[in-house]
Amino acid sequence: MARVYSRRKGQAGSTRPSVRKAPTWQSYKPAEVEALIVKLAKEGKTPSQIGMTLRDSYGIPDVKASTKKQIAEILREKNAMMKLPEDLTALLKHVIELQKHIERNKQDMSAGRGLTITESKIGRIVKYYKRSKRLPETWKYDRNNVQLLLK
Overall size of the chain counted in residues: 151
* Cβ atoms within 10 Å, residue 37: 26
The model's pLDDT over 51-96, given as tens digits with 9 standing for 90+, comes to 999 999 999 999 999 999 999 999 999 988 888 899 999 999 999 9
Phi and psi torsions of 129, nearest 5°: -70, -30
Other beta carbons within 10 angstroms of residue 73's beta carbon come to 15
pTM over 0.75: yes
The answer to whether the CB of 111 falls within 8 A of the CB of 124 is no
Predicted confidence at residue 124, as pLDDT, reads 96
Rounded Cα–Cα distance for residues 137 and 127 (Å): 9
Percent of the chain residues topping a pLDDT of 70: 97
Tell me the fold of 86-150.
Helix Hairpins (1.10.287)
